Amino acid sequence: GNSVTQMEGPVTLSEEAFLTINCTYTATGYPSLFWYVQYPGEGLQLLLKATKADDKGSNKGFEATYRKETTSFHLEKGSVQVSDSAVYFCALSESYGGSQGNLIFGKGTKLSVKP
Binding site for other proteins (CB under 8 A): 4, 31-32, 34, 36, 42-46, 49, 51, 89, 91, 93-96, 98-108
Give least dist CB 114 to other proteins, A.
22
Task: Tell me the pairing of strands 109-114 and 11-14.
Answer: parallel
For other proteins, the closer CB: 5 or 85: 5
Give least dist CB 43 to other proteins, A.
4
For other proteins, the closer CB: 97 or 115: 97
Give least dist CB 15 to other proteins, A.
26
Secondary structure in 3-state letters for the chain:
CCEEEECCCCEEEECCCCEEECEEEECCCCCEEEEEEECCCCCEEEEEEECCCCCEEEECCEEEECECCCCECCEEECCCCHHHCEEEEEEEECCCHHHCCCEEECCCEEEEEEC
For other proteins, the closer CB: 24 or 51: 51
For other proteins, the closer CB: 43 or 115: 43
Give least dist CB 99 to other proteins, A.
6
